Amino acid sequence: MPEPSRLPPDEVALRFPDGFLLGCATASHQVEGGNHNDWSEFERQPGRILDGSISGTACDHWNRWPQDLDDLAALGQNAHRFSVEWARVEPQEGRFDLEVLDHYAAVAAGCRERGMEPFVTLHHFTLPLWLAERGGVLAPEAPLRFARYTAACAKAMGETVRWWVTINEPVILAVLGYLEGHWPPARRSLPRTFAALRALVRMHASAATALRAAARRHGWEARISVAHHMRGMTPEDPGSRLDRLAAAIPDLVLNRWFLLACRDGRLPAPVGRGQPVEGAAGSLDWIGLNYYADELVGFDIRRPGSLFARRGPDPSLPRSSFGWTIDPGGLHRALLRLSKEFPLPIVITENGVADQDDELRPRFIVDHLAAVHSAIAAGADVRGYLHWTSMDNFEWAEGYSKRFGLFAVDRQTMRRRPKPSAELYARICRAGGIPRELLADALAAPRTGIASG
């Protein structure tokens, strides 16, 4: 069989547009090891992490990043997303660690040297302890502090980095930290959840303003967004008005609210009262989409705390070992929906599957990329796809019990081992599309749940 890179053009069944970006996404706390932040404190509290683990040395990516980037470049990836750990950059308020900033600048440059476009996330769920102690994102000074830290990152990396993500999944952070209480600060209250959402818009806006000011001053190009999590909310019974209403409310708050605020520069109802936020209007140059799964929603009178909504997986669909449904159609729908309401270029900043033994992932990748391809054919302006994730890592409250990586990591030796899906993804990256054979194999493979976790 010829090398995928040498496949003649007609062997690529679904080709992506020229310049399409294909890579992986990671986050500092999940891979670096040795972090000291609100999460590392939280992990030590009994009962917080499913398997009782702490992030600890994680994947030791802080030290092993050159080899890790080599491995990804060898797969033929032309993009890579990583995050900067605020707690390392600014371990005490106002004291910036220049060596740490140099480290991240080297990682960004290291991506470029290997032919991978760097995507940099400034905040991926973790906070420095000094800010967490003052209320975290609810601290009145959070937007200003975040802007100052952003300015330091821009100074260190602005020449190298074009694609910036200010905040990863702000809505998930607010929901898990303040509504469901599974993540720090684990303080459950609906008013606080809404306050956190408003604060996160302010933080994003102030960071975007700082980035734009730096880019203007130095003549750099900065393309700014957030990584926005979307979960389609389908009414259990589409014929029932109550189910439709029960689905519409979480759909507005989880899927649309944050983007509306960034588009219009105001905090819309039901989370806000239309208050203006300086720097928010038009603050997105593109949309980062994190897509994993859709949910079914039914009206439930016994759940006033969840706005009378019962949410869960569609039982007719296969599931990952996280219990999330697998449905590439959901990604296709999310892309078309976004394109219609927020007509901006889109990059899929995360999409992946928890799969203990790499049984689901090969077909998952092919099916989801085929869905991206068909969304582009239907008019969506999608510029890239970043798979979550390069290697098995610390999956927040699930600890090390969920495996999302293309590479397995031996937790004793830290050795990385490519899984079959890494090879498959390499063939796609090198071909700039889905080779005919992979598509045929995927279509022949069973699609129903293997969920082995």
Does the annotation mark 359 as catalytic? no
Q: What gap in Å lies between CA 33 and CA 98, rounded to an integer?
A: 19
Question: Using an 8 Å Cβ cutoff, are 334 and 290 in contact?
Answer: no
What's the closest the beta carbon of residue 202 comes to ligand FCB, in angstroms?
21
User: Taking CB positions, which residue lies at the least distance from ligand FCB?
Assistant: 27
Catalytic residue among 32, 85, 90, 350: 350
Neighbours of 443 (CB within 10 A): 12
Shortest separation between residue 395's beta carbon and ligand FCB, angstroms: 5
What tokens does 355 get? 């799969």
Shortest distance in whole angstroms from residue 394 CB to ligand FCB: 9
Of residues 338, 115, 122, 90, the one with CA closest to residue 222: 122
Cα 83 to chain centroid distance, Å, stands at 10
Smallest distance, Å, CB 61 to ligand FCB? 14
Helix (H, G, I), strand (E, B) or coil at 144: helix
Rama region for 135: left / alpha / beta (φ>0; ψ in -120 to 50; rest): left
Pairing of strands 287-291, 346-350: parallel
Nearer to ligand FCB by Cβ, of 402 and 416: the residue is: 402
Residues that bind ligand FCB (CB under 6 A): 27, 30, 168-169, 172, 229, 290, 350, 388, 395-396, 404
Beta carbon nearer to ligand FCB, 64 or 402: 402
- Establish whether 278 is a catalytic residue: no
**Region class of 178: left (phi > 0), else alpha (psi between -120 and 50), else beta:** alpha
Rounded Cα–Cα distance for residues 348 and 6 (Å): 27
Which whole-number Å values give the CA distances from 148 to 93, 137, 142, 144, in the listed order? 10, 15, 10, 6
Catalytic residue among 43, 169, 359, 395: 169
Which is nearer to ligand FCB, 345 or 399 (by Cβ)? 399
- Length of the chain measured in residues: 453
* Nearer residue to ligand FCB within complex by CB, 39 or 404: 404
Residue closest to 80 by CA, chosen among 350, 345, 367, 286: 350
Query: Min. distance of Cβ 4 from ligand FCB in angstroms?
Result: 27
Would you please indicate which residues are annotated as catalytic (active-site) residues?
A: 169, 350
